[in-house]
Amino acid sequence: MAPLPSPGDGPPGAAERPRIRRAVPADLPAVAAIFAPYVTGTAVTFAEDPPSAADWSDQLEDADAGGLPFLVAELDGEVVGYACVTPWRPRAAYRHTVEDTIYLAPTAQGRGVGTRLLSALLDACTVAGIRQVVAVVADDPAGAGSVPLHRRLGFEVVGVLRDVGRKHGRDVSTMLMQRTLH
C-alpha cells in the first residue's frame, strides 16, 4: 500500500496552506452558505432543505457535548470548508464509530484544502478515541472528488447501497467507505 499523504501535501500549484481550526458559532453562517448549494442543486447530500445557521448551531453544540471534532478551513481569513463527524448509530456499541462529512466552497476545490481538512479531522478523531470512520458517498457528479479524497487518506470501499435515496426526481445510490484509525 502506498504511503498516506502528509497533511501538507496538495496538488501542484495548490493554494497557500489553509488554516484548519475548530468551528465556533461565528463560523456557522459561512458553513450554512457552503452547504446550501449542495442541498438545492445536487444529490451529494440527501438533505432536501438547507439548514440555517441556527440548525448548524445545534450540530456544533452536539459535537462539543460529545467530544467530536467540527472543523473549518480558512483561506485569507474566509471560511472555505468544513468537516465534522456524527455518531454512526445511536446504540452504545457503536460509540467508537462515526460518519464523516466534508464540504468545500467552489473556490477551495482542487487546491489541496480538502486533503488537509480531512486529514486534520482524522487526527482529531484519533485524539477523541474514535476507532472507525465511515463515509457515505452519494453517486452524484457534484461529489466526484469525494471518493478519491477519501481513498488518498486510507479509506476503502466496503459496500454499495443501491437506490437508497431519491432526490431531484431520480434514485441515488451510496458508496460506503471506511477507515480504521487504531
4-57: pLDDT as tens digits = 333 334 444 444 799 999 999 999 999 999 999 999 999 999 999 999 999 999
Side by side, the strands of the sheet bearing 97-104 are 19-22, 70-75, 78-87, 97-104, 132-138, 170-180, 156-167
Q: What is the reported pLDDT for 2?
A: 32
Structural domain contains residue 101: yes
Q: What is the reported pLDDT for 7?
A: 34
Structural domain contains residue 140: yes
What residues make up the domain containing 64?
A: 19-180
Q: How much is the pTM?
A: 0.90
Structural domain contains residue 81: yes
99-134: pLDDT as tens digits = 999 999 999 999 999 999 999 999 999 999 999 999
135-170: pLDDT as tens digits = 999 999 988 999 999 999 999 999 999 999 999 999
> How do strand 19-22 and strand 70-75 relate by DSSP bridges?
antiparallel
CB-neighbour burial class of residue 110 (10 A; exposed 0-12, middle 13-18, buried 19+): middle
Half-sphere exposure of 131 (CA within 13 A, CB side): 4
Q: What is the reported pLDDT for 97?
A: 98
How many domains are contained in the chain?
Answer: 1
59-112: pLDDT as tens digits = 999 999 999 999 999 999 999 999 999 999 999 999 999 999 999 999 999 999
Closest CA to 14 of 114, 147, 118: 114
Question: Who's near 83: CB < 8 A, 6+ residues apart?
Answer: 69, 70, 71, 73, 100, 101, 102, 103, 117, 118, 120, 121
Structural domain contains residue 8: no
C-beta of residue 56 within 8 angstroms of C-beta of residue 28? yes
Structural domain contains residue 93: yes
Structural domain contains residue 1: no
CB-neighbour burial class of residue 182 (10 A; exposed 0-12, middle 13-18, buried 19+): exposed
Structural domain contains residue 9: no
> How do strand 132-138 and strand 70-75 relate by DSSP bridges?
unpaired
Q: What is the reported pLDDT for 59?
A: 97
Give the CATH number for residue 158.
3.40.630.30
DSSP per-residue letters across 121-157: HHHHHHHTT--EEEEEEE--GGGTTHHHHHHHTT-EE
